[in-house]
Amino acid sequence: MSDLPGGRVIYFLILLFSMPLTGYAQLPAQQLSRVPLASDAEKIRIFRSLSLYYAKDQPDSAVYYLNKGVTIAEKRNDDVALADLLLQLGEVNALHRHTQLARQFYNESLSLFRRLHDAAGVARSYDALGLLDGDNTDFNRAMRYYHDSRDSLGIVVTYTDMGKAADEKGMHDQALSFYLRALTQYEHRGYKPEAYFSLLETIGRLYERRGDTEHALHYFREGVRDSLGQGMQEQAAHLLNAEGEAFEQRKDSRSALAAYKEALTDAGKSHQSDEQAEALLHIAEILKNSDTAGSIADLKQALLIAQALHHPQLEARIYAALAAVYRQQKDYGEAMTALTEQRHLVDSLLNGDTVKEITALDSSYALERAHEKLLYLEQANHQKRLLLWCGLAVVIIILCLLVLLLRYLRKSRSLNKELIASNRVKDTLFSVIGHDLKGPAGSAAQLFELMDTEELPPDEMKLMVKELRKQTAASLELLQALFEWGKSQLQGVKVQPVDFNPEPVVERCIQLLGQQAVLKGIRMENHLPDYLNLHADINHFEFIIRNLLSNAIKFSHGGGLISIGAEVPVASKEVIFKVADQGVGIGPEQQAIFLSGNLKVNFGTQKEKGSGLGLLLTKDFVKANHGRIWLESEVGKGSTFFVAMPVSA
């Protein structure tokens, strides 16, 4: 490097103090500046990135940021992020030899990944445990889960970690076997990731330790060729430095120097200051026997880079190399100065590492205690929630029982009402049967006995037959009314509404009752208009008209007039029918009885017996068809019944 032009040196120094400092100093600051406005998920990603940045040199900072991420993940109940953070905590502790803590965090992440059914996460946890303990059982489990999730890169990681574990145990052949298995996973990939070049370097270094520099150089050169083919000068620079070390091991200084100079050029193109410093250090080591001045110049230039990078380990190595060159020049004063600087750096590194280790250990233990406290609080909250749910369940059961009890009471009251109504119907039926049917049946029995035992003249026999016919007709009519009324009371009135013209129905009722009217000398007149159209149950309507006409005949004097008519009030949705007679009339007391719905036995103008059941059924049928019924009457002047029924739409 002594032959570098002065302008190139100045440019190199400017680049040294601008680019590296910017890249290393601003990265955490830039990420932290985004935290206040970031979402929780973004904050977790930032804290993980900061932890990765500090993991190697500042484990206390790495644990601190992971702890902040864990707090957010637990607050959001984000088990996916929490599992990743716990795994990363284990990796930080494993990196700094806190094996017990690392194992605890790995096991917690494994438990979470299992609960989430995350095969890749489970594999990563097993892989980390296997690397921590060197346990092939964990590695094999990791391989199974990586195969299940079809994660070929995960398989590479596990094979690589299995190789590391075997290498640490001194099982170099087995380690090499695992590394080569990992390498085969990249054979059919067009683009090679950074892990591929790290794997090539690892294999080459293993061959170096075994003294097989030929194979080591093969893998280093393969990595250099592939990295340059993909335009990855930073990987090429690192591997070229490794290649130079292999040449040095073979005592081929010329080839080693060429490799280091090529590494220096590629590192400059990719702005890799650390690799530049490494190349300069190696070049100076080679030149110290032939060009001590150039060697010192290169070492000083490397020292500037290391100082700009705040890389005390690299500074210590450079000072040691400077001391060796100064001793070779017999410049013992400079050699002592360089050795003093090296000792200060080593002491500060030891003290700093100790402080960092203690801080990281304290942070990890603090996080573990916080985690245990959180688990305790979660268990307490779970118990409280369980008690709350149990209390809520008891309240719901009590409410359900109260609702069921209320429904039972309401149903009991309803059944009691139905029972009372049923008893009323029963009492009414027995009353009618006992009083109304007993008389006609007894009279008929006496007449039949008299006709059977006595020799009666034809005229008397004719009168008896006429009386028997009257009694049996009355009994039949009463039985029919009893049947219809009892059925309506017990089963309810079933309505089947249709649109129909009421005039033919009224005419049919007049014809059916015509003989009964003729016997009393009563005329019936139909004054219904032709344009009427009702919407009701036609059978119910026929019963209503027939019953009203029958009652009018029963309570009219001989030679009287019964008229039936109808009208449709303006803007009305119902037809008002009226059946008027000139009979005995109904007094206020009997009108009140009719309106109350009670039964009242009455006798017609010729002693025709009426039970009142027909009018009760008439009222039920009118109500069921959404109609109305009322009457106007005066004793001795006759009665008029009004029935309003809905018209057709």
Nearest CA to 319 out of 351, 346, 354 is that of 346
List Cβ<8 Å contacts ≥24 apart for 207-216.
207/176, 208/245, 208/246, 208/249, 209/172, 210/172, 213/246, 213/247, 213/249, 213/250, 216/246
Region for 30 from its dihedrals, namely left if φ exceeds 0, alpha if ψ lies in -120 to 50, beta otherwise: alpha
Q: Which residues contact residue 416 at a Cβ distance below 8 angstroms, ignoring those fewer than 6 apart?
A: none
**Dihedral sign, CA of 58, 59, 61, 66?**
positive
CATH architecture for the domain at 39-117: Alpha Horseshoe (1.25)
Which residues touch 480 (CB under 8 Å, ≥6 apart)?
Answer: none
- Whole-model pTM? 0.43
Directed axis angle between helix 59-76 and helix 40-54, to 10°? Answer: 160
Give the Cα separation of 282 and 276 in Å (integer). 10
Neighbours of 632 (CB within 10 A): 14
Per the listing, tokens 């050699």 go with 335
pLDDT for the residue 574: 92
Residue showing tokens 């094979």? 159
Query: What would the pLDDT profile of 91-146 be if each residue is shown by its tens digit?
Result: 888 888 787 888 888 888 888 887 888 877 877 787 787 777 666 666 666 666 66
How far CA 611 is from CA of 157, 414, 560, 603, 634, in Å, comes to: 104, 29, 23, 9, 21
Cα distances (angstroms) measured from residue 506 to each of 233, 245, 378, 513, 542: 113, 126, 84, 11, 7
CA distance to 26, 174, 384, 388, per residue, from 391 (Å): 56, 62, 10, 5
Give the model's pLDDT for residue 232: 84
Residue count (the chain): 649
Q: At what angle do helices 172-184 and 152-168 cross, to 10 degrees?
A: 170
- What is the per-residue pLDDT for 13? 36
Backbone conformation region of residue 647, classed left if phi is above 0, alpha if psi is from -120 to 50, else beta: beta
CATH number of 493-646: 3.30.565.10
Which residues 6+ apart lie within 8 Å of 45 measured at CB? none
Give the pLDDT confidence score for residue 578 in this predicted structure: 95
How far, in Å, are 61, 316, 337, 610 from residue 313 at the CA level? 19, 5, 17, 126
Least Cα distance to 222 among 212, 211, 235 occurs for 235
What confidence score (pLDDT) does residue 22 get?
Answer: 37
Concatenating the DSSP letter of every residue in 400-459 gives: HHHHHHHHHHHHHHHHHHHHHHHHHHHHHHHHHIIIIIHHHHHHHHHHHHHHHHS---HH
pLDDT number for residue 385: 84
CA separation for the pair 193, 19 (Å, rounded): 25
Please identify every stretch of the chain with a pLDDT value under 50, giving residue numbers as ranges.
1-26, 435, 599, 601, 603-604, 607, 609
Closest CA to 113 of 139, 64, 146: 146
pLDDT at 541: 92
- The C-alpha atoms of residue 23 and residue 33 are separated, in whole angstroms, by 16
CB 64 within 8 A of CB 27: no
Dihedral over Cα of 514, 516, 522, 524: its sign: negative
Question: Residue 209: which residues within 8 A CB-CB, separation 6 or more?
Answer: 172
Tokens for 345? 């750096």
* CA 328 remoteness from chain centre: 77
Segments making up each domain of the chain, as ranges: 39-117, 393-491, 493-646
Q: Where are the alpha helices (DSSP H) in 433-567?
A: 438-453, 458-491, 502-512, 514-519, 538-554
Q: Residues 439-492: pLDDT tens digits? A: 566 667 766 777 777 777 888 777 777 777 766 766 676 676 666 666 665 566
| Helix (H) or strand (E) segment spanning residue 22 | helix 6-33
Note the pLDDT of residue 19: 37
- Cβ atoms of residues 260 and 247 within 8 Å: no
Q: Cα(207)–Cα(405) distance, rounded to whole angstroms?
A: 87
Tokens of residue 130, six digits: 């296997």
Place of tokens 């990135």: 49
